[in-house]
Chains A and B, each alone.
Chain A
């Protein structure tokens, strides 16, 4: 693990917008303290879309919730989170409220329902806490106009006519047709895709520099997913925002992100440029993920799944968490934890036996 405040992992000539170093999170559970994050190092640069991928429970949501300080009193967060060089973990509640929304905004999976098919432990722990601090879902009993209007008022201090105009402008910006007519609609009158657009418009209200999108399209149909991802990419172009896109879908990463970080059991195992990483994944877990995907554009003869299952957070092995499932494991992997190390090509890997070259299958 690189020490906090160490050299940026990538694009070292640029100043990162967000720097996360050695981030750990422990949860106070009835069974005792359980570590959810084991030292995460991550940078987000201005104007880029960073994909944060991993399976359920890998810690991708927890990482972002920790940055936003939305994990509540039962989580202990340690490490460094620097936003434009300003440490966030030491900020008081008021300071953090100023960051949320106007500097960093977050949108979530399903804007209308509490049904989470891809829920994580961290998410379940935090859901109720979050509701008080930031809005994860739309309020079913308030109109779209009231909800977006409130966000505009809170973030921009606008009222009356000016707030209403800004609300309409925001709804228009996220592609809601006839935004004026929609102001009096309730969330149930809009489709899932339209509600997600409303959530995005609320996130944009404070002109954030960083948008964290946590599985924003997982609950949507593919044709609607394509529309929302296109919107997110366009917002990046238009507003110069940085975006962290949390997803379990590697295909979405391939099509939308500039860089990608792969998480497994509370750690980043590989990080790099999207093109290079998909062409030559080096961590056995990344390779395994890519080999287990069927494709729409051609017939794949056989899928090569990763054997076994993800260990529970309280049953992690002593060494590398992926070792029990890894086809390339060495003796050393059982005993020691590999650190995330960045090579000359700006690829970071946490593995004692990284693989090189394209994949066999």
Chain B
């Protein structure tokens, strides 16, 4: 359903057939104080604990998982908003950490982001048209009249009418604001768009408008996207491939339809089975997980899901399962799925 699946762009990025984004064994630990306040022992919160994935040009990769699984930290690491503890992020063939400020500024143009809260992302005292023009001014692109034309065309293409251009963010609806945020992210014609819960704050009917818009823009501009969401129905709709995270690790990574139709990791299965479907009487097997996810400060040994896993066997406590391919190409980190139990 997207540009990537049509083939030729999939591995045909500008950097000699490399994926546009390569993330390798990326880790981010946060040091916190344990119980006892200032005198408490230092503890490590492993928000992201060794994730590896690539995103091909024109492809949309979804990252899903429940709160605290590390998906938002992963997005911030890719955007270099937080520095990694270890591991690498390679964008367009270049390692992003350790770039000089001027090199980083040039690269940063190519990666834009859209977060959940559009009101927080916009300057309340600036007119819509000025907010969208600002990146062009900062990057010294075009003459003032060229900028005006470009912004007007883009605002129209995200579905905003002329009368909104001179308004302030608080005068717009939530859906309109998210369109403004999208326009501002796209004005520099980035190669990679990172969306973190872009429609979560919107009502159902408006959600669908923004999803359709993203879908259309992606096709038209051949955008590569990293799409982070807790709403798996939306992820299924928009993503080519999907990574499922649990407590800082990727437990499964596969093509969208494969993942949703034949999930291989017990966590993915439970997660999918918990999502309601708008069809009364449709009998779906539901796997209830007992309890809550353990704390990322003191995760279980071996496989982190084992404490809630209906299939757990002794080896799961002893060794951490590696993310590796099943026969059908689905990447799964599970001893049981790989027949190692």
Is the A/B pair a real complex? Answer: yes
**A248, closest chain B residue (CB):** B204
Query: By the criterion CB–CB under 8 Å, are B205 and A305 in contact?
Result: yes
Query: By the criterion CB–CB under 8 Å, are B288 and A226 in contact?
Result: yes
Residues of chain A lying within 8 A (CB to CB) of residue B257: 299
Query: By the criterion CB–CB under 8 Å, are A223 and B274 in contact?
Result: yes
Query: By the criterion CB–CB under 8 Å, are B276 and A251 in contact?
Result: yes
Residues of chain A lying within 8 A (CB to CB) of residue B289: 223, 227
Residue B279 lies at the interface, judged by CB distance under 8 Å to chain A: yes
Residue A93 lies at the interface, judged by CB distance under 8 Å to chain B: no
Query: By the criterion CB–CB under 8 Å, are B173 and A222 in contact?
Result: no
Residue A303 lies at the interface, judged by CB distance under 8 Å to chain B: yes
A274 to B280 alpha-carbon distance, docked (Å): 7
| Tally of A-B Cβ pairs under 8 angstroms | 127
Residue B31 lies at the interface, judged by CB distance under 8 Å to chain A: no
Assuming the A-B contacts A222-B271, A299-B257, A309-B173, are A254 and B205 also in contact, with contact meaning beta carbons closer than 8 angstroms in the complex?
A: no
Residues of chain B lying within 8 A (CB to CB) of residue A177: 291
Query: By the criterion CB–CB under 8 Å, are B203 and A55 in contact?
Result: yes
User: Of A25-33, A153-161, A284-292, which binds chain B?
Assistant: A284-292
A253 to B66 alpha-carbon distance, docked (Å): 22
Count class of interface residues, chain A = 35 or more
Most buried by A among B201, B232, B236: B236
- For B280, give its contact among A225, A254, A295 (CB under 8 Å): A254
Query: By the criterion CB–CB under 8 Å, are A294 and B211 in contact?
Result: yes
Q: How far is the CB of A327 from chain B (nearest CB, A)?
A: 13
Residues of chain B lying within 8 A (CB to CB) of residue A293: 204, 208, 233, 278
Residues of chain A lying within 8 A (CB to CB) of residue B260: 296-297
Query: By the criterion CB–CB under 8 Å, are A278 and B279 in contact?
Result: yes
- For A223, give its contact among B66, B176, B284 (CB under 8 Å): B66
Residues of chain B lying within 8 A (CB to CB) of residue A274: 280
Residue A103 lies at the interface, judged by CB distance under 8 Å to chain B: no
- For A305, give its contact among B200, B201, B209, B288 (CB under 8 Å): B209
- For A117, give its contact among B201, B206, B208, B288 (CB under 8 Å): B201
Residue B230 lies at the interface, judged by CB distance under 8 Å to chain A: yes
- For B1, give its contact among A290, A299, A305, A309 (CB under 8 Å): A299
Assuming the A-B contacts A294-B233, A294-B237, A296-B232, are A255 and B203 also in contact, with contact meaning beta carbons closer than 8 angstroms in the complex?
A: no
A225 to B205 alpha-carbon distance, docked (Å): 22
Q: How far is the CB of B118 from chain A (nearest CB, A)?
A: 12
Assuming the A-B contacts A222-B66, A251-B275, are A296 and B205 also in contact, with contact meaning beta carbons closer than 8 angstroms in the complex?
A: no
Residue B86 lies at the interface, judged by CB distance under 8 Å to chain A: no
Residues of chain B lying within 8 A (CB to CB) of residue A297: 260, 277, 282, 284
Query: By the criterion CB–CB under 8 Å, are B203 and A310 in contact?
Result: yes
Q: Which of B188-245 contact A (CB under 8 A)?
A: 200-201, 203-209, 211-212, 230, 232-234, 236-237
Residue B315 lies at the interface, judged by CB distance under 8 Å to chain A: no
Residues of chain B lying within 8 A (CB to CB) of residue A221: 66-67, 230
The 16 sampled A-B contact pairs (Cβ below 8 Å) are A55-B203, A221-B67, A222-B271, A250-B278, A251-B278, A254-B282, A255-B277, A288-B205, A289-B205, A292-B208, A293-B204, A294-B236, A296-B272, A301-B1, A305-B208, A310-B203
- Which residues of A does B touch, CB under 8 Å? 55-56, 117, 177, 191, 193-194, 221-227, 229-230, 248-256, 274-275, 278, 288-290, 292-297, 299-307, 309-310
